[in-house]
Amino acid sequence: MNEKKAYAAYYDNDIRMKSSSGAIFSLLANEVLEKKGIVYGVAMNASCTEAEYIGITEKQDLEKLLGSKYLQAKIKNIFKNVRENLVLNRLVLFTGTGCQINGLKKFLQKDYKNLICVDIICHGVPSPALWKEYVGYMENKMQGKMEKVNFRCKDQGWENFGMKEYGSSKEVYISKSKDPYMQMFLSDFCLRPSCYECKAKTLRLSDLTIGDFWGIDTIAPEMNDSKGTSLVIVRTNQGEKIFNRLISKSSVKVMEVEYDDATKENPAEFRSVYRPKERETFFIDMKKMDFEELRKSYLSLPIKQRIKNAIKKILKPVLKRARRGGIKSNLDYGMLMQFNVGEKNE
């Protein structure tokens, strides 16, 4: 394919409320499962302390893969398992971050016609060690074990999402602007070192890329019903064939858009996040402090400083682009969610 094609799309069914964006992942996964294929993706483990890759063959297991898990997932021996199924000529859908797809392709060392690769637009993955600390902190607060977590609860809408955590004795909902883990993630303090210089931004080996269609209201407001809209980027002929087949279904709403317009407010598609100066000390402190101390140290900056930081962050890419020529929108995934600089963290 010479040029990438971009679409706003959503799968109009109940599953969308359990998905982070427009449920395009589940649409693809259903198709593969109906053809007796195998779908690989990321699930939380039973104790909610880790995210890990699993392969599923039954629709009843699809729920485990739904929704973003905002921490680095364990790959374990999944690449070997993928190859075994490919060699058996089974249809395989592998979904993950761009770097994980590139890793799989490098491992396989050859192309397989029965492999579909779909990456998610990725702003960066947080440290699994930080997540474990946070689970302990929340279990203390909830006075019970964490049994389930939804990082992208849409009870208050797709754009205004929050974390929903189900403990053994109660459940809690914390808006994205108040949850300390989400704030550490969106402030980019806790991402893996390679995320700040992500090679997958310029080398994408997937057939399709899916993400949130941030900025949909300026491009196609009729495609936003607050339940979630996906941005779909078609990168290969194989991806185009699959996507065209899926969108012929009446339950799929779709609109072709210009790639540049579609990615204006989602620079994670083409650019790594900036490494904040606090990144170094954050990880040193994470080993010394408990989660509450870490929260107080990094999220309780005086309001003046937080506003200053937010403005600096907004201006940095604008100035950079202006220097290169051609100013685009300055909103990015993190920024979009960080505008509540005045809100206190709980």
Ligand X SMILES: Cc1cc2nc3c(=O)[nH]c(=O)nc-3n(C[C@H](O)[C@H](O)[C@H](O)COP(=O)(O)OP(=O)(O)OC[C@H]3O[C@@H](n4cnc5c(N)ncnc54)[C@H](O)[C@@H]3O)c2cc1C
Residue 164 burial (C-beta neighbours within 10 Å; 0-12, 13-18, 19+):
middle
- Is residue 211 at the binding interface for ligand X, with CB under 6 A as the rule? yes
- Helix and strand numbers (H, E) in the chain are 13, 12
Q: Is residue 180 part of the contact set for ligand X (CB under 6 A)?
A: no
Nearer of residues 73 and 86 to ligand X, judged by Cβ? 73
Q: Measured at the alpha carbon of residue 23, what is the angle toward residues 243 and 66, in degrees to the nearest 5?
A: 120
211, β-bridge pairs:
231
Which residue in 79, 96, 243, 252 binds ligand X (CB under 6 A)? 96
Residue closer to ligand X (CB basis): 86 or 268? 268
Taking the C-alpha atoms of residue 135 and residue 49, their distance in angstroms, rounded to an integer, is 7
x-or-dash string of contact with ligand X, 6-35, rule CB under 6 A: -------------xxxxxxxx---------
CA atoms lying within 13 Å on the CB side of residue 41: 25
Examine residue 95 and tell whether it contacts ligand X (CB under 6 A).
yes
For position 98 contacting ligand X by CB under 6 A, the verdict is no
123 binds ligand X (CB under 6 A): yes
The reply to whether 122 sits near ligand X by the rule CB under 6 A is yes
Binding characters for ligand X, 39-78, by CB under 6 A (x = yes): --xx--------x-------------xxxxxxx-x-----
Measure the CA–CA gap between 205 and 203, rounded to whole angstroms: 6
Q: How far is the CB of 269 from ligand X (least distance, A)?
A: 7
Nearest to 83 by CA among 54, 57, 104: 104
Tell which positions 228-247 bind ligand X, by CB under 6 A: 228, 230
In terms of CB distance, is 66 or 149 closer to ligand X? 66
Q: Could you tell me how far CA 313 lies from the centroid of its own chain?
A: 21
Distance of CA 122 to the CA centre of its chain: 5
Which parts of this chain interact with ligand X (CB under 6 A)?
19-26, 41-42, 51, 65-71, 73, 95-97, 120-123, 125, 210-212, 228, 230, 266, 268, 333
